[in-house]
Structure 1
Amino acid sequence: MTAMPTIHTRPARTCAAVLRAGSSALRTPAMTVDADAILFSAKSFAAAMLAYYVSLRIGLPKPFWAIVTVYIVSQTSAGASLSRGVYRFAGTVVGAMATVAIVPNFVNDPIACSLVLAGWIGLCLFFSLLDRTPRAYAFVLAGYTASLIGFPGVLDPGVVFDTASLRVQEISIGILCAVLIHRYVLPKPMTGQFTGKLSATLRDARRLAGDALAGTPEENRRDRHQLAADLLALQGLATHLPYDPSPVTPRRGTLHLIHDRLSRLLPLTAEVEDRIQFLRMDGGGRADRLTALVGEVRAWVETDKRDGGETAAARLIAQARAVQGSLGADAAVPADGVGANLAGHLAEMIGLLQDCDRLGQGMSAGRPSRKAASLHGPMRAKGYVYHRDPWMAARAALGACAGILGGCAFWIGSGWPEGGTAVSILGVCCSLFGNVDAPAPVVVKYLVGSIYGVLVSLVYSFAILPQVTGFTVLVAVLAPAFLFAGSLQARPPTALMAMGITLTIPILSGLGTAYAGDFAGTLNMVIALFFAVGFAAVSMSLFQTVPADAAINRLLHLSRRDVGRRALGTAPNEAHWTSLMIDRTALLLPRLRASGKDHADILDDTLRHLRIGHAAGRLRTAVAQVDGEAGVALNGLLSSIAACFGTRGPAAPADLDNLAELDRRIGALMAMLGTVAYGSRPRIGDLLIDLRFALRSGRTAKGGASPS
């Protein structure tokens, strides 16, 4: 009797183990990505067929535009799909209105019409590159809608208004169906993805602080670069939150508060690391209390379970302020002044981390934190600041105009009947892919997808669709191709190739109101498509490509220029400056990978610019509080910094002699301030120490003297 349970329980245990293993496999990241891609593809296909059916029922002549729109608008999250749909609709309407205004008035002069249409597309691209938010998509659509409608309409300007009106209706139906399906059928909210990324970013921030306290430079480098990339990724997710179907989304003010604190934390950890290394090498001063404080702060930072964190943070801040006061009251040796400066930075770092914890916990719990906006950071949050470069945007826009005009010249000169269609596709490529430094590889990926799309379309057009007799059967035969391409579109590595498939099949397969089966027309369309995309790859290589080294040098040049402006008091406020430099750091990361240059040195240069500009800007605001000879010397120092950093060529480093001279003048100014009694002397002294360490970090990296 005792053997029976053993015989029966062994298979049961085996089955349970198999089920647990299967459940674990299904929860792996790869399986999760696959499941999400399949769900996205199914919903997109359902929205496309719904849009196609509605367009057929109301008698629109080219219902395939509704299918194309669905696949352009559809995103993996409900919020992103809605925001993209809103901006696509706005851009389509504006582009259609521009086309109706341009083509009939210039149709008698093809050259002038081409110039105006190309200029409009270039202008829209210019504004999209300056915006750098999801709103940029509206500008892109305003440009390439004019291209799609305008160039083919040159041959028949009398129907341009009707064509524009019908195109807006077809696209509107596609937008509506895509938004409804992705929002109400198994929606994937953006809020959960955002809070997950925020939690990872807060962990990265704590690790960065811990590595700074431990004095591990290489780890700190990687952590700072990761935090800069995290902040850009968070901003990209946050822009879609207002459109998210989640019942509770983080408030805009809360997002700005947490961004400003994380942004300030990035250079602050470099300041802390420099001070700790200096004091270790110096070995003098009253370092016992400071060493104990650093150890306690590090233990607090690295503790996962922070029960009573509010009390511990307040105690550590009070302790840091006490150490700062005792070391700064009578700084008998230079190390005491640096120690007081370090204690002040530790107090600020503790407060910033505690604020980030409060804000993060409030957002994760779906409620705002009333205590989040403490005195540890700026009360008036600035939020993420985008780097915008009108010169580079104008360069890309003029390149697009040149490419489109080159296509128009070939069309007009050759009299090619399908030239209008080819140039319209060329304008779409120049607009849609003109937001990257090297667009040609992106266009090639799209071209590869278009080749697959053409092959599939030919099979559908002349082998499968002639046998279809009803809409239900049509949906069934279209499903394999669209479901497979849609799953590829949900994966970033294959998204561009998939778009070439999903945007080509509806048009070339002739998914209109009735089956046409025009082989000659299809062949002409294929030739126009390949010519346009191939010409776009060549023209964008010539006119719209920015070498990675040139883009890097441009960003470094602008950073140096703005350091000079900070020293002169003409640059933006501190929060704006810090966020702007972090965005530039995030923009440098992909360009450095493309150039093959050493990431760390160039990114460290950007961080040095941030630190120098921060200290110089704060000194400029405080210079009015320093009178007499010291005030004159401080003004002269800031003017020298502006001359050193603000008037050089792209990415030219400050030479060692200039850095040494600036260091000497700071030392003399600090000695001069030590003989003057006034209330703001400790603050001015702290800022001079910050400036000196920031300048010395650049000098050390270039082979000069160490801070000791």
Structure 2
Amino acid sequence: MTGSDFSGSVPLGRRLVVETLREEASVWLFVAKTLLAIFVTGWIAMRLALPSPSTAMITTIIVANRQSGMVLAKSFYRALGTVAGAGAAIGIVAAFPQQRDLFLVALSLWLGVCAGGATLYRNFKAYAFVLAGYTAAVIVVPVIENPPGVFDSAVARLSEVLLGILVSGAISDVVFPSRVRDVLRRSARGQFSDFLGFVRGSMEGAIPRDAMENAHLRFVRAAVTLEDLRSSVIFEDAETRARSNHLRLFNQRFMAASTSFQSLHHLINRLKRARRDRAADALVHLYAPLGEALEVPLEAGEGARVLLPRLLVARERMREDAVEVRAGFADEQDLRDFETGASLLLRFAGELYDYVDAASTLQAPRIVGGPVERVRFDRGNDYLGAGIATARTTLTMLVLGAFWIESAWPLGSSAMLIATIFAGLFAVTPNPTRVTRDVTYGYLIGMVLGFLCHFFVLTQLDGYGLMVAGVLPFLVVGVMLQASQRWGGIGLGWALGLLYILAFKNHQVYDPAHFINDAIAQIVGLMSAVVSFIVIPSAIGSPWLRRRQLAALRGQVALAAEAPLPGLRHRFESVNHDLFSQVVAQTEPGSADSRALIAWALAVHETGRALIELRHDMARGELPPTLRPYLEGVLATLARFYVKPDPASYLLARDAVATAIAGVCEHEGHRHLLEHLRLVRMALLDGESVLAAYMPDTPPAKEIAHAS
């Protein structure tokens, strides 16, 4: 019985109650494990007489996550960043031990570079950069007046941070662990069943454009989510780590198959709109064996193994049917349309088989066979956006450092440290405006509660156990809010503000004047980070960056036309999916911007993939000297059009494709190139695509139209 069958047999009300209780249990388990990690870390730090146990305790807050694998991944990269930051701190102090001005300039530049580097990643790798900057500041700022003490400071901070990481990872992995591998498996099964179900349900051929756009959005999110999960699960599960490259291959084959699938149905839709029903119906008929082969329960694993021989039989039937149908065409135009679609359909059938084969291999009890094809999931990064984050953080630190020097403020170091932490954390958030506001509110609440806890509760208690009992009521709400998607920013700020202002040590000092001055310094540091994002807004989510990312997405056609062929198909698919997911995450669903983005993404996927296949076919055999210039002209004009679209470059690209088609038709041994050229030609002439805005009012000349 499949999961859907089971869920359908349970009353809706009961399912809602079960899901609500499961969610509440997950939240409270997260709260309990996080609090346990905080206080166990604090106890060990005090037993070891570390200088700042609160630093170790704060570490557990920053790495906290509901999933064990996420904690381990976050901790791993935090450890890397901590070690790198310690090395940078020692280097800065060694270079400028007596020059405070140059010392602060070097530190500000390091913090800026780390903040910029953090923006280039969408997973826990960003924390390595954030912590590299934060750790350097934590180490060097307290010893600015005593440079020889930097080594002791580095050892202490490393010990405190690594202790927090070790305790968090151990508790998360031992106490009722919630495995990311289970989420990964569900995601892989969901991707598999959703895609194959969509393929099976499209046997009638034509799919409305809005349905295809929504499907494309789902497929992109599924591919990017699976890669993000894979990069985290490898830290918690040895078996998943061994299958990591198989997972990458599974995901890459999914992206390839989904692109060909979309191109196929765009082609069928175009034929129907052009009233070329004979060719469209023939393609739908040819598609039928593939749909019939998928008429089994769509669960990765046993279902995948069952599908493989069925898909082989379906492909053979499709080849045989294609020969028979081709012989029945009397009209040359219908024949050309059918040949283009049949070639694309057979390519899709092969890619679908490869995808199902990858799913079957993943679900086998153990991996057998030789080395698997090594693939990568490349990311689409905007380095100018990272440069903005670098400049913002550097300027913020320089301004604070200059104020600290000129004012001789005793607690300027505290302001610098807080600004460092939040400048890095805010730089990697997808919605920095809302997050900065929420974290600021939470931090202020945490400090107010910290004052009450410090002077009205802890002064009445003695011993670590009573201290835990006194702090727990003030901390538990913040940790609970941290588990919420909506209130997570407030919860994070609450917990950090409370623990930071309490500044636990083996010998607590109760000095109201120092406490208030420290709180003021922390507020100044926090507000400096907030103001820096107002003065120099984050590029993430801005219309400016969306336009740049959309331009980068269009530029993928130039990549497909010009980049070296080895590994190009995988690189093209993964960068496309990553860029699209970045832009769509910052675009209002259903808006004009969102619709334009999806339309461009579909056009880029279809054209770019056709050009890659064309170049592969060009590379497989010798081309006549008279034919190569035509094909190279197609690649060059299409690349220019997508990089900078306008009506003039559209006409050049359209006519270059038509001329190349006419040239290929004159060479009998190279007619296999026609399918790719005709597919590109149809995409260029699609009046419902995003390219329609660049089409002239008059249709192409009759002789060119017939060349397609």
Q: TM-score, normalised by structure 2?
A: 0.88
Q: 1-side partners of 2:368 and 2:292: how far apart? A: 25
Q: Judge conservation of contact 2:140–2:153 (CA < 8 Å) in 1.
A: no
CA distance in 2, matches of 1:286, 1:469: 85
After superposition, the C-alpha distances for 1:192-251 in whole angstroms (9 at most, x for unaligned) are: 111111122223323443566342221111110111111111111111122114766660
The yes-or-no answer on 1:261 pairing with 2:253 is: yes
Pair 1:665-2:656 in alignment: yes
Sort the Cα spacing of 1:287 and 1:391 in 2 relative to 1 into closer, same or farther, 3 A: closer
Q: More displaced, 564-573 or 99-108?
A: 564-573
Give SS of 1:429's match: helix
State how far apart, in whole Å, the 2-side matches of 1:250 and 1:79 are: 15
CA deviation vs aligned residue, 1:263-307 (integer Å, no higher than 9, x gap): 112321221112212333433556665332234434544654669
The match for 1:181 is 171
How many Å separate the matches in 2 of 1:293 and 1:585?
Answer: 32
2:223 to 210, 213, 231: 231
Structure 2 equivalent of residue 586 of structure 1: 581
Residue aligning to 1:556: 550
Query: 2 CA distance for matches of 1:471 and 1:438?
Result: 39
Q: Are the structure 2 counterparts of residues 565 and 227 from structure 1 closer, same or farther at C-alpha, using a change threshold of 3 Å?
A: closer
2:5 maps to what in 1?
none
Q: Check 1:107–1:524 CA distance in 2 against 1; reply closer, same or farther (3 A cut).
A: farther
Residue 276 in structure 1 maps to residue 271 in structure 2: no
The equivalent residue for 2:459 is 466
Q: Output the CA distance in 2 between the equivalents of 1:665 and 1:94.
A: 53
Alpha-carbon distance between aligned partners in 1 of 2:519 and 2:487, rounded to the nearest angstrom: 22
Q: Does 1:635 align with 2:632?
A: yes
**Which residue of structure 2 aligns with residue 5 of structure 1?**
none
Shift of 1:661: 4.3
Aligned to 2:56: 66
Deviations 1:88-112 (A, max 9, x none): 2222122122212213542433321
The residue type paired with residue 654 of structure 2 is D
Q: Give 1:412's match in structure 2, choosing from 391, 405, 409.
A: 405
Match of 2:608 in 1: 613
What letter is aligned with 1:631? R
Query: What is the alpha-carbon distance in structure 2 between the residues aligned to residue 265 and residue 463 of structure 1?
Result: 64
In structure 2, distance between residues paired with 1:308 and 1:245: 28
Q: Secondary structure at the match of 1:244?
A: coil
Deviations 1:129-181 (A, max 9, x none): 33545333222211111122323332443433222221111112211111111
Q: In structure 2, what is the Cα distance between the partners aligned to 1:211 and 1:445?
A: 44
**1:460 CA drift (Å):** 0.8
Could you tell me which residue of structure 2 aligns to residue 320 of structure 1?
318
Contact 1:78 1:245 in 2 (8 A): no
Q: Once structures 1 and 2 are overlaid, which stretch shifts more, 66-75 or 305-314?
A: 305-314
Return the letter of the residue paired with 1:243. F
Deviation, 1:353, is: 3.5
Q: How many angstroms does 1:587 deviate by?
A: 0.8
Pair 1:324–1:538, CA change in 2 (3 A): farther
| Matched positions, count | 675
Runs of 5+ in structure 2 lacking a partner?
1-9
Aligned partners of 2:552, 2:330: CA distance in 1, in Å? 38
Provide structure 1 residue ranges, at least 5 long, that are not aligned to the other structure.
1-18, 374-378
Q: How does 1:304-343 map to 2 (within 5 A)?
A: 304=297, 308-325=306-323, 333-343=332-342
Secondary structure at the residue paired with 1:515? coil
SS at match of 2:170: helix
Deviates more, 1:290-299 or 1:452-461: 290-299
Distance 1:385 1:247, change over 3 A: closer
Which residue in the other structure is 1:401 paired with? 394
Moved more, 390-399 or 562-571: 562-571
Q: 1:196 to 1:308 in 2, by over 3 A?
A: closer
Q: Which amino acid aligns with 2:348?
A: M
Question: TM-score, structure 1 length as denominator?
Answer: 0.88
Tell me how large the CA RMSD over aligned residues is.
3.0
Of residues 294-303 and 597-606 in structure 1, the stretch that sits farther from structure 2 once superposed is 294-303
Q: Does 1:144 align with 2:134?
A: yes
Residue correspondence of structure 1 range 466-615 to structure 2 within 5 A: 466-546=459-539, 548-569=542-563, 573-593=568-588, 597-615=592-610
Matching of residue 694 in structure 1 with residue 694 in structure 2: no
* Pairing of 1:24-423 with structure 2 (within 5 A): 24=15, 27-28=18-19, 30-103=20-93, 105-210=95-200, 213-245=205-237, 251-280=243-272, 281-283=274-276, 285=278, 289-301=282-294, 304=297, 308-325=306-323, 333-364=332-363, 367-368=366-367, 380-423=373-416
Letter in 2 for 1:484: V
In structure 2, relative to structure 1, the CA distance for the partners of 1:542 and 1:328 (3 Å cut) is: farther
Q: How far apart in 2 are the matches of 1:565 and 1:261?
A: 19
Contact 1:121 1:144 in 2 (8 A): yes
**1:645 alignment counterpart:** 642
Distance 1:214 1:595 in 2: 23
Output the amino acid matched with 1:321. R
Matches of 1:487 and 1:223, distance apart in 2? 35
Q: 1:359 to 1:573 in 2, by over 3 A?
A: closer
User: Is the Cα–Cα contact under 8 Å of residues 282 and 335 in structure 1 kept in the other structure?
Assistant: no
Give per-residue Cα distances to partners, 1:295-349, cap 9 Å, x unaligned. Answer: 4434544654669533321122112223445566889522222222222332333
Deviations 1:454-492 (A, max 9, x none): 122111101111111222222223233333322222233
Q: Matched residues in 1 for 2:16 and 2:562: separation?
A: 60
Counterpart CA distance in 2 for 1:595 and 1:515 is 56
**Structure 2 CA distance for partners of 1:637 and 1:22, relative to 1, 3 Å:** closer
Q: Cα distance, 1:362 vs. partner?
A: 4.8
Q: CA deviation at 1:22?
A: 10
Q: 1:117 Cα deviation (Å)?
A: 0.2
Q: What letter matches 1:162 in structure 2?
A: D
Change (3 A) 1:81 1:569: closer
Residue 660 of structure 1 deviates from its aligned partner by: 4.0
Determine the structure 1 residue equivalent to 2:666. Answer: 675
When residues 211 and 671 of structure 1 are mapped into structure 2, their CA distance, relative to the original with a 3 A threshold, is: farther
* Higher mean C-alpha deviation, range 282-291 or range 391-400: 282-291
CA drift of 1:25 comes to 5.5
Contact 1:274 1:693 in 2 (8 A): no
Q: For the residues of structure 1 that align with 2:462 and 2:128, how far apart are their CA atoms?
A: 39
Distance 1:380 1:361, change over 3 A: closer
**Could you tell which deviates more after superposition, 111-120 or 634-643?**
634-643
Cα gap change, 1:49 to 1:700, in 2 (>3 Å): closer
Tell whether the 8 Å contact from 1:40 to 1:490 is kept in structure 2 after alignment.
yes
Contact map agreement 2:80 2:128 (CA 8 A) in 1? yes
The aligned residue for residue 6 of structure 1 is none
